[in-house]
Amino acid sequence: MSRTVATASDLVRIEVEDGIATVRIDRPSMNPLSIEVQDALGEAARLVGDDDEVAAVVLYGGEKVFAAGADIKEMQDMSYPDMVRRAPVIQECFSAVARIPKPVVAAIEGYALGAGNELALCADFRVAASDARLGQPEILLGVIPGAGGSQRLARLVGPARAKDLVFTGRMVDASEALEMGLVDRVCDPGQAHATALEMVRGYVGGPALALRAAKEAVDRGLDGDLETGLAIEAMQFASVFATRDREIGMRSFVEQGPGKAEFTGR
């Protein structure tokens, strides 16, 4: 059974089917990420994060383009004081996507540029059509990435490769993006959404709280030193011993062997 979850904007909608939520950007023709879209993405992230019927999330911009960047026409007349106020809000909207406590895949068709690429960086995994193009072209406008690109990109592909993309503003094709680790899988054009659904389908019916703990341990651990990361892991590891799924999983393993547990998400 499928259902649609409304957000405050018609430009971003949530479609839930078989435990997987697709957060769809729908602002033809290039899905520019305007203030309205940014705010709606933050709202959508919170909605799918709080929805117990959602086990995993796919970020999608449609069959032609993921998102070709921010709305430059909207930004053109913004002043320094305007952006001092707005920049933290942009980052918070994108961070809300990064903090969705469930597996998230970005399904990339066409272009994922600037803020579009920064949105994809908020996902746990990225699948790109073979003809997709990704990059951070902000330098060509005389600015720099402002929605996490200088930070998440460097953490994902390393500082030298991040600087190459940010300093030059060049686009990379799907094969180069795969080679550098910017995307995790390449598929035929028009198949990004289907491939993303395939990637996350196995999480439906899984131990939701353990998945949440694992994601938080990895993400928060990367923000500090090894000792801090290990402390976070120990805390999350201990926390899952309070879940029903831990009891189910261990009992099933002892009695039936691995891979046969039927989890409840509790």
Does residue 43 have an active-site annotation? Answer: no
Using alpha carbons, select from 210, 212, 202, 218 the residue that is nearest to residue 242.
210
Structure tokens at 5: 């979850």
Among 118, 176, 247, 255, the one annotated catalytic: 118
Q: Is 257 left (phi over 0), alpha (psi -120 to 50) or beta?
A: left
Residue with tokens 């659904």: 197
Among 17, 138, 227, 255, the one annotated catalytic: 138
Does residue 176 have an active-site annotation? Answer: no
Active site residues: 118, 138
